[in-house]
Amino acid sequence: MAAEVLNALKPKPGGRYADGTLGGGGHAASLLAGSSPTGWLHGCDRDGAAVEAARRRLSGSFAGRFEIRQGNFAEMAGWIPAAICDGVLLDLGVSSPQLDTPERGFSFQHDGPLDMRMDVRQTLTAAELVNGASPEELAKIFWELGGERDSRRLARALANNRTRQKFETTRQLAEWVERLSPRRGKQTHPATKIFQALRIAVNDELGSLKRGLEAAMKILQPGGRLAVITFHSLEDRLVKGFGREQTRDYTCPGGVDVPELRQPRVPEMRWVTRKAAKPGAGELRENPRSRSAQLRILEKL
Ligand SMILES: C[S@@+](CC[C@H](N)C(=O)[O-])C[C@H]1O[C@@H](n2cnc3c(N)ncnc32)[C@H](O)[C@@H]1O
């Protein structure tokens, strides 16, 4: 959604931008190109390989115009000064290099270790969760983060199975799930939801997103814009909820919205567009992985 992001953030010479999810540096490069010759980019990614790829990509044409580091966007406000950014981008989820590198263990299309860490300096892996978490904890992860309806049965069976043989690889887990829940004509692989849930849990993706949205608020200056691309409903719900809170002109004491108890306050943001933007037909043809992407844009007041 490169064009939509540019249209949302409208980079200009001298502007300052933050990209919390550098990946291969595609969006970062277009923000720097759009803000030539004097725009500046602060960028980070949890994944050291992504940071290196982005550094290589940006060093040629944009040398001296960016500061990038490895880290969670939840911590952006710790190193980017408050209220200086004209635009902040969070392009959530996993990157193609992560999905396509078997050793990273994100996908069951290839066989690899059950890893799924975006930041390999972190100790918790998917294998540790699968082989170590209680059946109740696993059922909660499968249901809440994957929407897996059969979460309890799968979690109990998994806990039984691992006493005989630990789960070590992506294919081993995917094939085991398929044996327990055959496809019965469904197009998507029966392990898809389990893999999504494990990935979100291993990387604490929702906790990071909550903190990342707060961090973005801090580093944006008035008139600056926040663009967030989400890939599943849990992320999108969180962004919508954050936007709802920041854009309304009242607070709800105790966190419950009782109209009589509302306290007036000045909204801190406004929605730039009411509805989320989705990829067009051309992009879907070129990049089928973008099919669930949604872009939401907020402006700091
Ligand atoms: C969809 S890709 C981004 C692609 C990138 N916009 C580009 O143009 O190439 C998502 C990236 O976000 C990173 N990521 C996800 N959650 C993160 C977080 N909480 N903090 C920092 N990076 C994160 C992933 O490691 C991955 O590299």
Nearest ligand 1 atom to the CA of 22 is: 5
Residue 45 CB–ligand 1 contact under 6 Å: yes
pLDDT value, residue 245: 93
User: What sections of 63-169 are H helices per DSSP?
Assistant: 96-100, 126-132, 135-146, 151-164
Q: Can you name the residues that pair with 135 across neighbouring β-strands?
A: none
Q: Residue 258: its pLDDT value, please?
A: 92
What is the DSSP secondary structure assignment for residue 69, as one 8-state letter? E
Residue 3 above 90 pLDDT?
A: yes
The Cα–Cα gap between 195 and 106 comes to 8
Mean pLDDT within 129-141: 98
> Is the CB of residue 213 below 6 angstroms from any atom belonging to ligand 1?
no
Dist. CA 94 → ligand 1 center (Å): 6
Atom of ligand 1 nearest to the CA of 24: 9
Measure the CA–CA gap between 299 and 122, rounded to whole angstroms: 33
Answer whether 91 contacts ligand 1 (Cβ < 6 A).
yes
74, 65 in Cβ contact below 8 A? no
What atom in ligand 1 is closest to the CA of residue 26? 8
Give me the long-range contacts of 8-12 (CB less than 8 A, separation at least 24): 8/87, 8/225, 8/227, 8/272, 8/295, 8/297, 9/86, 9/87, 9/89, 9/225, 9/227, 10/34, 10/87, 10/225, 11/35, 11/39, 11/86, 11/87, 12/39, 12/86
What was the pLDDT predicted at 183?
79
Give the pLDDT confidence of 262-278 residue by residue, as tens digits: 999 999 999 999 899 99
What pLDDT band is residue 232 in, cutting at 50, 70 and 90?
Answer: very high
pLDDT at 165: 96
CA of 244 to the centre of ligand 1 (A): 24
Q: What is the pLDDT of residues 28-81, one digit of tens each?
A: 999 999 999 999 999 999 999 999 999 999 999 999 999 999 999 999 999 999
Kindly tell me if the per-residue pLDDT of 252 is higher than 90. Answer: no
How much is the average pLDDT of 5-28?
98
pLDDT recorded at residue 255? 82
Name which residue leads in pLDDT, 213 or 1: 213
Determine if ligand 1 sits within 6 Å of the CB of residue 177: no
Q: What is the mean pLDDT of the chain?
A: 96
Distance between CA atoms of residues 150 and 181, nearest Å: 9
Verify whether ligand 1 is closer than 6 Å to residue 23 (CB atom).
yes
Our answer on whether the CB atom of 95 is closer than 6 Å to any ligand 1 atom is: yes
Task: Report pLDDT for 162.
Answer: 97
Residue 16, strand partner residues? 40
Strand partners for 296: 228
Check residue 111 and give its pLDDT: 97
Q: Which helix (H) or strand (E) holds 87?
A: strand 85-91
In terms of Cβ atoms closer than 10 Å to its own Cβ (0-12, 13-18, 19+), residue 297 is buried
88, 118, 196, 199: residue to mutate for ligand 1 pocket, most atoms within 8 A of CB:
118
Residue 236 CA to residue 295 CA, distance in Å, equals 9
* Residue 235 beta carbon below 6 angstroms from any ligand 1 atom: no
The pLDDT of residue 243 is 97
Q: Tell me how far apart the alpha carbons of residues 70 and 45 are, in angstroms, rounded to a whole number.
A: 5
169 lines ligand 1 (CB under 6 A): no
* Upstream peptide bond of 37 is cis (omega within 30 degrees of 0): yes
Ligand 1 in contact with 230 (CB < 6 A)?
Answer: no
Check if 27 has its Cβ closer than 6 Å to any atom of ligand 1.
Answer: yes
**73 in ligand 1 pocket by Cβ < 6 Å?**
yes
Give 169 Cα–ligand 1 centroid separation in angstroms. 24
Sorted by sequence, the CB contacts under 8 Å of residue 213 that are 6+ apart come out as 90, 226, 228, 238, 239, 242
| CA 89 to ligand 1: nearest atom | 6
**Ligand 1 touching residue 147 (CB < 6 A):** no
Give the C-alpha separation, 268 to 291, whole Å.
31
Read off the pLDDT of residues 166-191 as tens digits, 9 standing for 90 and up.
999 999 999 999 999 887 878 899 99
> Exposure of 147 by Cβ count < 10 A (0-12 exposed, 13-18 middle, 19+ buried)?
middle
